[in-house]
């Protein structure tokens, strides 16, 4: 399932996929795959993404 909440939060902070990837220590392709729903990130990566975007796990990764 696509993660449109992640994509919207990233865009809302005016970050590219590459910029977010660098902040959390992964590749741009990993961020792209998460947004497309092709990759299920680890809880540690979810937490790092949330911290980078000033969001909670609930806001980005749970329905």
Buried b (16+ CB within 10 A) or exposed e, 19-42: ebbeebebeeebbebbbeeeeebe
- Indicate yes or no: pTM above 0.75: yes
CATH fold of 4-61: 434 Repressor (Amino-terminal Domain) (1.10.260)
pLDDT tens sequence across 16-49: 999 999 999 999 999 999 999 999 999 999 999 9
State the first-to-last Cα distance of the chain, in angstroms, to the nearest integer.
11
């Amino acid at each position: 399932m696509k993660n449109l909440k992640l994509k919207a939060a990233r865009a809302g902070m005016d970050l590219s996929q590459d910029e977010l990837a660098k902040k959390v220590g992964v590749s741009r392709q990993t961020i792209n795959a998460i947004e497309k729903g092709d990759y299920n990130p680890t809880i540690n990566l979810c937490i790092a993404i949330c911290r980078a975007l000033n969001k909670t796990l609930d806001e980005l990764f749970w329905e």
